[in-house]
A and B are shown apart, each in its own frame.
Chain A
């Protein structure tokens, strides 16, 4: 009897999720250490200062996402908009601070991306939810200077929608929207376009519109079996979640990735094999670090190179090749060798190359792979060498110890001419105040 009563007491708690999302995160990070830019619109550019990947709210009317930097320079100057190269050292550190602050205030947290996190608030008193949301927002702002929006609801999909509302009606809501109340929830669903629902992209929106599903409310009311048959089980879940039935749980530990990619544009066009080989070896070393940090091994790798694709006067070429490794491995030396050998196969002289990409495929966890009892495995000595390599680089900084093919200061490195200092991660670049 006692056991039964405990169970009911636990299950009577309706699930509650919050989505905490940083406002214009990259631009906000830049502003923390530049109080002079509080009212100056900011854009942040992609690697190589290629195109706009983030905008502060006050820059949004003037600049579209993805616009190439070289095309908008004039417009930026005209509106007094300041551009920054992306400073991932800074954004990564600030993200960690934001997540740590939130973690201290909620029972469980799923870091969903660099600037958003789901928190599970199940079991906390319902009436205090909005207050907790405001507290989360205030604490993150106080400790990091980053403004956020908070959405609170019974499911993750609804929390995401509530968060959207918190941002859209920032002034009226103070950045916190709680739609645990079904009346409030339905009122919101009816005014939100279906395209704003989590997981509903542009193409899906077009299909849904054709079926006269225009708002989030329409999707919530749609027949779930039809959705499953015509689209996918994912969209069925979305519709259920919009009705308030939780289908998605908090994922506190990210599952290991199934493939690892490292691809970057070169800072300038490359024509010769040796330079491109340096780049491939560098990307390989980075990809292997990622591989080891999730404790996986890989059996196949893919290397590809390409020229610029948009310039009409440039000859176009793109090619990739998959190489099989002798055994599942995480050894930078072996993987790098396979990739640079592969590069020789795809390289053709006479082209101006703009980008190389390295992928580690067919990943598995250690001990998972047993289809051949007598297959060779990675020697223990390789494991030791990689451990030492990672230990040295973690202590003295990335790239301190590296394979001979990886240059310290490559001539093809990406352009980051508008880079702000790494205020929080480099002693020689700390914020200087007089």
Chain B
């Protein structure tokens, strides 16, 4: 597994320009010319956008997509859902998180767990796509 180091994180909602070094009496810091803005998770996840909502996951139907009970989903309401997207939908008024797939012109809501069978969207069904799941946040603490 390869990991990319992204840099330090800023506090939520606050981005500090880095001019915090005092003018040194001795040698200037060699890093001073290379300071960049701190990274913000808010910006990365687009959390402050008016179309972004956080949703809490209940149940285990999406575990093979890496989405577990209690995870936070970052949902974008403005995005048009495409085949293959993980989405929040209301199927006949029941909200659920599923993978939306178009197979031979047929819409299917797939769970990512072999214990659950796919749900084909049929003629009498009412499907409302609520938003597209763009990120999920999982806590790796163990009790």
- State the A residues within 8 Å of B (CB): 35-36, 38, 96-98, 100-101, 139, 142-145, 423-424, 427, 430-434
Chain A proximity of B95: nearest CB distance (Å):
5
Cβ contact within 8 Å between A432 and B50 = no
Contact of A96 among B50, B57, B73 (CB under 8 A): B50
- Which residue of chain B has its CB nearest to the CB of A423? B53
Q: Can you list 26 A-B pairs, Cβ within 8 angstroms, ordered by A?
A: A35-B130, A38-B93, A98-B50, A101-B50, A139-B78, A142-B77, A143-B50, A143-B51, A143-B77, A143-B78, A144-B51, A145-B77, A427-B54, A430-B55, A430-B72, A431-B55, A431-B56, A432-B56, A432-B58, A433-B56, A433-B97, A434-B57, A434-B59, A434-B61, A434-B96, A434-B97
Complex: how many Å from CA A430 to CA B73?
Answer: 10
Assuming the contacts A35-B130, A434-B61, A434-B97, asked whether A97 and B50 have C-beta atoms less than 8 A apart, the reply is yes
**Which chain A positions have C-beta within 8 A of B90?**
35-36
Cβ contact within 8 Å between B51 and A432 = no
**Which chain A positions have C-beta within 8 A of B4?**
none
Say if the beta carbon of B94 comes within 8 Å of chain A. Answer: yes
Chain A proximity of B45: nearest CB distance (Å):
14
Say if the beta carbon of B64 comes within 8 Å of chain A. Answer: no
Given contacts A100-B50, A434-B58, A434-B95, 4 further A-B contacts (CB under 8 A): A98-B50, A143-B50, A144-B51, A145-B130
Complex: how many Å from CA A96 to CA B51?
Answer: 11
**Which chain A positions have C-beta within 8 A of B72?**
430
**Which chain B positions have C-beta within 8 A of A434?**
57-59, 61, 95-97
10 closest Cβ contacts across the A-B interface? A35-B90, A143-B51, A97-B50, A434-B59, A100-B50, A434-B58, A36-B93, A430-B56, A432-B56, A432-B58
**Which chain B positions have C-beta within 8 A of A433?**
55-58, 73, 88, 95-97
Chain A proximity of B65: nearest CB distance (Å):
14
Interface majority SS (helix, strand, loop, mixed), chain A: helix
Interface majority SS (helix, strand, loop, mixed), chain B: strand
Cβ contact within 8 Å between A430 and B51 = no
- Which residue of chain B has its CB nearest to the CB of A103? B50
Say if the beta carbon of B117 comes within 8 Å of chain A. Answer: no
Chain A proximity of B38: nearest CB distance (Å):
18
- Which residue of chain A has its CB nearest to the CB of B57? A433
Assuming the contacts A143-B77, A432-B58, A433-B58, asked whether A35 and B50 have C-beta atoms less than 8 A apart, the reply is no
- Which residue of chain A has its CB nearest to the CB of B133? A433
**Which chain B positions have C-beta within 8 A of A427?**
54
Instruction: Give the number of A-B contacts (CB < 8 Å).
Output: 62
Most B C-beta atoms less than 10 A away, residue of A139, A423, A433, A434 = A433
Assuming the contacts A35-B90, A143-B78, asked whether A432 and B53 have C-beta atoms less than 8 A apart, the reply is no
Assuming the contacts A142-B77, A430-B72, A433-B56, asked whether A97 and B51 have C-beta atoms less than 8 A apart, the reply is yes
Say if the beta carbon of B128 comes within 8 Å of chain A. Answer: yes
Cβ contact within 8 Å between B93 and A35 = yes
**Which chain B positions have C-beta within 8 A of A96?**
50
**Which chain A positions have C-beta within 8 A of B53?**
423-424, 431
Contact of A142 among B54, B58, B78, B95 (CB under 8 A): B78
Most B C-beta atoms less than 10 A away, residue of A36, A143, A427 = A143
Most A C-beta atoms less than 10 A away, residue of B72, B73, B88, B130 = B130
**Which chain A positions have C-beta within 8 A of B77?**
142-145
- Which residue of chain B has its CB nearest to the CB of A97? B50
**Which chain A positions have C-beta within 8 A of B96?**
433-434
B85-107 vs A, CB cutoff 8 Å, 1 = contact: the mask equals 00010100111110000000000
Chain A proximity of B80: nearest CB distance (Å):
9
Chain B proximity of A44: nearest CB distance (Å):
20
- Which residue of chain B has its CB nearest to the CB of A101? B50
Cβ contact within 8 Å between A101 and B55 = no
